[in-house]
Structure 1
């Protein structure tokens, strides 16, 4: 049985989760880049990289929800403003362009017209990831990130910290997003349940949250694209999963 959730509840919970994710990232990111000593025990450096990677992934998922209007239902301008700010910080992405591409992904999922799909290599990870990366990362993003790097160094961050504690987790988060949210869910190695050409990862709720903020419950996302990320486990459970 479907659990009814009001738009106000979705908005309130969505904003709380978004604030926790973005705020958590800002704190960890600032400490990692400006205050963490790379001479510290290796487990501390790796832990901060892993935590940042996960929070970066969460930030992108929040921005993704703004593309569907599900972060703040009925508040189109606020969704756009929040999504624009997050994607700019994430990697200098253009929110409107990514929203257009993402809606094309939903409309033409798993076909040659799908910008997130690699029709020539529908099962090969690295060729597909390379295409995925180059589809969204161009000169605009490179110049913006160079600008961020220069600003960080001028403020006081070391060059090594900007690379190891900022660039590395940001790049790893793109791999994480792609692997759990696109590759596993859209590769053609197994049959799909319907015309959406999407499947759901068979993960527990905790594993799903850790891997990609429930974006691996991808068939449910394609069935209910206006549900926020935190509602996807409930949708999976309703479907008997």
Structure 2
């Protein structure tokens, strides 16, 4: 695929994901009624926003690998920072440095996204993963935005919790479970990886792969070809770049 076509497809999908997330965020926080019957839409809105929130990180992730817009590093960085900044004031530069270190030493003590002390434990690993990137800087910025929403824009506190806070937590869990923990965790009997990438692919139908984490469960394929954008990972999988040992989900 030519770089121009990949850029066109990647930017179009990024626009849909970011635009969808922003639209649902504004609607949910400022306009969604919690009275019957409108409140019946709340669970669907929360789930859609959670999924799109995970998508924001996947767009930023492709930016880190230069696969969103090949050959355009400034555009990649700008879109990446927009995505992670809008989501929860994360630093794209910090995420980028740590992610490339993750690729250099996946599943080792030198991997910032790996919990070497307990490589099978969900809770300790998730807390270490989350607190590595959401620190005092991010907390202060988010707190300032919360203050503006509440006291200047007069947003409903309950709407903010339901349609901003809850989707952010759910999408963070999505990203961690399907993009880090399941692909890189060790089983009770030890590691069962087939090569130096220390990553496994999660076998699931195409639609479930998309809905869980934008095909990021095809993790061995990603580590084997990090310059492949998320939307081409299923093609890579079908073409035969698949691990001999996989985990069923």
Structure 2 unaligned residues grouped into runs of 5+: 243-249
Give 1:176-195 correspondences, 5 Å limit. 176-189=174-187, 191-195=192-196
Q: Distance in 2 between matches of 1:54 and 1:100?
A: 25
Q: Distance in 1 between matches of 2:219 and 2:153?
A: 41
Tell me the CA shift for residue 205 of structure 1.
1.1
3-state secondary structure, aligned to 2:202: coil
**Does residue 1:12 correspond to 2:8, yes or no?**
yes
Cα deviation 1:41-98 (Å, max 9, x = unaligned): 5542111111100000001100111011110000001111111111111111111111
Answer with 50-59 or 32-41: which moved more: 32-41
Partner in structure 2 of residue 139 of structure 1: 136
Q: Distance in 2 between matches of 1:43 and 1:135?
A: 36
**Does residue 1:25 correspond to 2:21, yes or no?**
yes
Aligned length: 237
Q: Is the 8 A contact 2:80 2:92 kept in 1?
A: yes
Cα deviation 1:148-191 (Å, max 9, x = unaligned): 11122221311111112101101111011000110110001151
TM-score normalised by the chain length of structure 2:
0.92
Q: Is the 8 A contact 2:221 2:241 kept in 1?
A: no
Q: Distance in 1 between matches of 2:211 and 2:177?
A: 13
Give the ranges of 4+ consecutive aligned residues of structure 1 lying more than 3 Å apart after TM superposition. 40-43
1:99 to 91, 96, 100: 96
Structure with more relative contact order (C-alpha pairs < 8 Å, separation 6 or more): 1
Q: Distance in 1 between matches of 2:105 and 2:36?
A: 48
3-state secondary structure, aligned to 1:74: coil
2:60 to 59, 63, 70: 63
Partner in structure 2 of residue 232 of structure 1: 233
Q: Distance in 1 between matches of 2:158 and 2:241?
A: 48
**Does residue 1:35 correspond to 2:31, yes or no?**
yes
Structure 1 unaligned residues grouped into runs of 5+: none
Give 1:33-182 correspondences, 5 Å limit. 33-41=29-37, 43-153=40-150, 154-182=152-180
3-state secondary structure, aligned to 1:86: helix
Partner in structure 2 of residue 220 of structure 1: 221
Query: RMSD value over aligned CA atoms?
Result: 1.2
CA change 1:98–1:240 in 2 (3 A) is closer
TM-score normalised by the chain length of structure 1:
0.95
